[in-house]
A and B are shown apart, each in its own frame.
Chain A
Amino acid sequence: MLNYFMTLSVHDIGAADDFKVGRPTRVEVDGRGVVVVNTGLSFYAVRDVCPHQGARLSKGRCKGRVTANTVGAQPEIRVDDLVLQCAWHGWSFDLVTGHALTDPDRARVRTYQVHLDAGRVLLDLG
């Protein structure tokens, strides 16, 4: 724990239990809006601004990634692989990389490291 607080960029943003699983939660740190997602397995954080037209991603939804291996097949919804979908135009972002699921080379949201320590959620804005 001490190691994290040794850098000014690391912030304690609350107890892990305060972040409901699957619900994007906005926190403001140093005047910066960040959306934090507790997937139930891990915590992720991205900048709370959609790179498309500026909506707050925290107003969006976490959804299972939708895939289909064959054309016309019933799509598979991977509930263990959540993506963050913007509330305005539906752009979806990979929580790990921040890349948009479509056109990933052009659209990306900034990601931040999140650590858990003794039940506290530590956000690294570094």
Chain B
Amino acid sequence: MAQVVAGASSDVDVVEMPATSGTIDTDVHPYVNTIDDLIPHLSARWVQYIKQSGFQSPSGNQYPKGFEMAARRDAWPPSGGRPGSDPDFAREQLLDTWGMRYGVLNPLYGQEKVHNDDFSIALASALNEWQKATWLDSDERWRGSIAVPTQLPEAAADEIRRVAKDPRFVQVILLVRSEAPYGKRHYHPIFEAACDVGLPVGIHFGGWGNHPITAAGWPSYYIEDHTGMPQAFEAQVLSLVAEGVFEKFRDLRVVLIEGGFAWLPPLMWRFDKNFKGLREEVPWLRRLPSEYILEHFRMTTQPVDEPPNPEHLLQIFDMIGRDDFLMFATDYPHWDFDAPDRAFPSIVRGELRDKIMSGNAELFYDFERA
């Protein structure tokens, strides 16, 4: 029988996990409470701009989430801030409760949707400095992701090269719903910079690409927004491979974050099949598309796909074909959080479970940079 142990300061009953697990969470979200959090990291020019304009935060067209701030109801910190804004509370509620070794921070601020280019660049830099001062300095288990003004690839590349000097940053973070597919040459400076500094690129759920969020137009409901996100992930995978990004940047590694994973095998099958007839359109590809995907991509697990028959999950793993492909994530503090001890059915066990929970992330990320 599983033993229940008390979480550090949590009211969650945590089923005892193997001592060797040392879970690594590859998707944790730190949030600024207000623009005031970024003020210390902005130049006088932008501080004055913010005060003059009354700027509060980047705005965008989003669907109301199922929960306020899309957060677990118990993730509002007692300090009074927003979920994900209090690193001490997050440490207790996440890292300590689950005995985690590392938590990879993925800030979702929205600097990409600020139309003033210089302000967008400044906000990205401020966000990275805020990550350092507020989160990375607070606990050595946090690792950062470099936020960039994605729509300005040259400036993004500059920011990557600047921030990567701090070894606590382990990846570059982009959002999956972009203005254009990331394989296009416009974005290549980002990948070039990532390769230059030896960091992978994470592509995360969400985004503000100014396009309808499905290929069929605007849906009505958040459930459609949330469930349909793999459409955007598929588009990015297709683009990055077809445009030859992995021939041009052979060291580039990409992790798809919060996009699910069960959709990948049929995409690979379809991509490979069509490549056999349409190869000459993309003659720079020297291998089957699936070979590029399996070599250069990884995926995080949350939200875990939950087939009614748990055995089917193992079949999906088998169809993906690599046991080093998936990396565990909680998506803390969001409402669709995956609990480390319960997200996977018990039939996911042994070495495979250990790899998913920590080993694969250890291989993928260079946590020892710091």
Contacts and interface: CB of A to CB of B under 8 A. Distances in A.
Interface of A: 52, 63, 66-73, 75, 86, 89-92, 100-103, 107
B354 interface: no
B283 interface: yes
19 contacts: A66-B280, A67-B283, A69-B284, A70-B248, A70-B284, A71-B243, A71-B247, A71-B248, A71-B284, A72-B243, A72-B284, A89-B276, A90-B277, A90-B278, A91-B277, A92-B279, A102-B272, A102-B276, A103-B272
Nearest to A77: B280
B276 A90 contact: yes
Given A72-B244, A89-B277, A92-B279, A102 B288 contact: yes
A72 B185 contact: yes
A102 B285 CA distance: 10
B76 interface: no
A72 B184 CA distance: 10
B303 to A, nearest CB: 33
Given A71-B244, A71-B248, A72-B243, A101 B279 contact: yes
B46 interface: no
A68 B283 contact: yes
Given A90-B277, A103-B288, 19 more contacts: A63-B280, A68-B284, A69-B284, A71-B243, A71-B248, A71-B284, A72-B284, A75-B283, A89-B273, A89-B277, A90-B276, A90-B278, A92-B279, A92-B280, A101-B279, A102-B275, A102-B276, A102-B279, A107-B276
B292 to A, nearest CB: 12
Interface size class of B (residues with CB under 8 A): 10 to 19
Contacts of B288: 102-103
Contact of A73 (B275, B277, B279, B284): B284
Interface string B136-177: 000000000000000000000000000000000000000000
Chain B binding surface, main DSSP class: helix
Interface in B235-270: 243-245, 247-248
B252 to A, nearest CB: 12
Given A102-B288, A103-B288, A75 B280 contact: yes
Contacts of B248: 70-71
Contacts of B278: 90
Contacts of A72: 185, 243-244, 284
Nearest to A66: B280
A100 B273 CA distance: 12
Contacts of B245: 71
A117 B278 CA distance: 38
Smallest CB-CB A-B distances: 4 pairs? A90-B277, A71-B244, A66-B280, A68-B283
Contacts of A52: 276
Nearest to A100: B276
